[in-house]
Amino acid sequence: MLLRHGETEWSASGQHTGRTDLPLLPRGEDQVKAMVPELHRLLGGRPPALTLVSPMRRAAHTAEIAGLDPVTDPDLREVDYGELEGLTTPQIRARGPQWAGWTVWSGTLPGGETLAEAAARADRVLARAREALSGGDVVLVGHGHMLRILGARWIGLGPEYGGRLILGTAALCVLAAEHGSEALVHWNLVRS
């Protein structure tokens, strides 16, 4: 399962938040609290075999509110936006003609990381999760773009296909396998 952190000041305003360590807003805490019953229902009342969480406090606080006992995994941190940190997509597109039509999924992140680098981190997280699945469910608590990359990689797609997977704050996603093929069972479950 994937769980995106609750709302922060920058997720509310649409600012790209990678390395900036923002806290949850009270509304973000309420979003997570609203999702907790669904999370526990999907877990069948059993604790997860493994919970991994990004080292950022917005993700760690989300796991805490959800009653999870996570292990910090730096590979779950958000995409590094480099010089674009704190900017919105319209602000980035206003930088000049070469930025027209820019997205995280198709543009560059000067001073940040490439989608291939983020995908390599996602693949390491998924390998760790697959190892733990024999013991039960796995919950990954993290950030919007990174979790979208994880979803795309889970079903065998390139990281750019994360752009096709919308993910709200405090949203829950269920990943599984059927007949040997990895699949998305539920995506972007939101209870706010």
Q: List, by residue number, the catalytic residues.
A: 5, 78
Nearest to 170 by CA among 30, 55, 44, 21: 30
Q: Which residues does residue 141 pair with via DSSP β-bridges, in sequence order? A: 3, 53
Side-by-side strand order, sheet with 2-4: 71-72, 50-53, 138-142, 2-4, 172-178, 181-189
Q: Which residue has the tokens 């998924």?
A: 126
Alpha helices (H) along 25-114:
26-42, 57-65, 89-93
